[in-house]
Amino acid sequence: MASKKLKIAVVGLGTNGSMHFKQLQHLDTVEIVAAADPLIEDRKKTLNLENISFLSTDYHQVLAKKEIEAVFFFTPSSQHLENITAAARAHKNIFCEKPLSKDGTIAECKKALAEVKNAGVKLQIGFNRRFDPQFKQIHERVEKGEVGTPQIVKVVARDPFVIPYDFIKNSGGLIQDFTSHDFDMLRYQAGSDIAEIFIESSILIDPKLAEFNDVDTLTASVKFKNGALGLIDESRKAVYGYDQRVEVFGPKGMLKAENVSKSTVEFYNDKNVSLKKPLDYYLTRFEEAYQEEKALFVKSILENLPIICTGEDALKAMCCSNAALESQKTGQPVKVQY
Ligand SMILES: NC(=O)c1ccc[n+]([C@@H]2O[C@H](COP(=O)([O-])OP(=O)(O)OC[C@H]3O[C@@H](n4cnc5c(N)ncnc54)[C@H](O)[C@@H]3O)[C@@H](O)[C@H]2O)c1
């Protein structure tokens, strides 16, 4: 007997949504029955939407379809809270991209999460890096106690180039768009919530970012609730590729994930040693993580298993982003308000 496929809808088919959509087309535990995007006619030119039985410019029409069991939102960050609330009210399970919200207050976020709880549906937020095989291995080995209780957790997160201004303007800035991933990674690896954050940031790469009240270079120094310390080092442009590394140091040793390259072959001669550059961008570096996060979300619904990256995790990342923004403004360490 063929196993059950989850009937799903995909909402938002831009840069990130297109990548997710193509992966979902190959996920054998789902059947994509609907898709929505205000630009759906344009999206038909670049995506194969022929077999999707219902297409719309309005995602509310998708939510009204009874047979749909889960909705995947790859919409702009400013819409996430509204999307989550509407989908919960329609009793759909929800996968939504990060962050939980761009402009919403913590009270508004808590209200949306209460709607999810009342509806009894599952919600997963797209902090995909938790699902990266290297970072996940570090997490599991820390949990097994291989380095003892973490004392220092470090994250390096550097983009290969400054992303388009049109996206940056509506992204909520470096802290909400990028650093929120890294706060989540620090919590995930340290096994403790972040208590206090101190931010230093600069414009060292692209002066135009000042027009959007944004920065391109940032360090965050954090103290966890259990006393451990954390560091984030972030840049909008690393000339050698997409630089993503994680390190956890404890009394019994260190676990460290280096960059991933296309080839592990290194070349040595009398002048130099050379190795392949890191993979070029998030779409390639985290391809496996993006597949895994969606596959596990679907599995958690089909087999009623716990969600790995919950709305509450995303709320905590938002609380950290708020403290970080306050620290950036005041130049002082700021306690995180949960
Ligand atoms: N987890 C990650 O690594 C990662 C990476 C990139 C982007 N993202 C997140 O993904 C989201 C989308 O980013 P993007 O780069 O694809 O942006 P994008 O602007 O390229 O795409 C957004 C898409 O949503 C559509 N849209 C807008 N309003 C809509 C609505 N009401 N209903 C349905 N569709 C609507 C737009 O037409 C567009 O096709 C953002 O929240 C971003 O933070 C996450």
pLDDT tens digits for range 227-282:
999 999 999 999 999 999 999 999 999 999 999 999 989 999 999 999 999 999 99
1, pLDDT greater than 60? no
pLDDT score of 126: 97
Do the first three CATH levels of 6-128+290-308 and 130-285+316-335 match, i.e. the same topology?
no
- Atom 27 of ligand 1, residue of closest alpha carbon: 75
pLDDT score of 170: 87
**99: preceding bond cis by omega (within 30 degrees):** yes
| Domain residue limits, the chain | 6-128+290-308, 130-285+316-335
pLDDT score of 77: 93
CATH superfamily of 6-128+290-308: NAD(P)-binding Rossmann-like Domain (3.40.50.720)
Q: What is the average pLDDT value for the chain, to the nearest integer?
A: 97
Which atom of ligand 1 is nearest to 58's Cα?
32
pLDDT score of 25: 98
- Atom 30 of ligand 1, residue of closest alpha carbon: 37
Distance CA 133, CA 26 (A): 20
9, pLDDT greater than 90? yes
2, pLDDT greater than 70? no
User: β-strand 266-268 against 273-275: which pairing, if any?
Assistant: antiparallel
Output DSSP code: residue 136. Answer: H
β-bridge mates for residue 85, sequence order = none
C-alpha 274 to ligand 1 mean position (Å): 37
Which atom of ligand 1 is nearest to 80's Cα?
41
Distance CA 41, CA 43 (A): 5
Count CB-CB contacts under 10 A for residue 246: 24
pLDDT tens digits for range 53-91:
999 999 999 999 999 999 999 999 999 999 999 999 999
Distance CA 131, CA 52 (A): 28
Pick the CATH number of 130-285+316-335 from 3.40.50.720, 3.30.360.10, 3.30.479.10, 3.90.1530.30: 3.30.360.10
pLDDT score of 29: 98
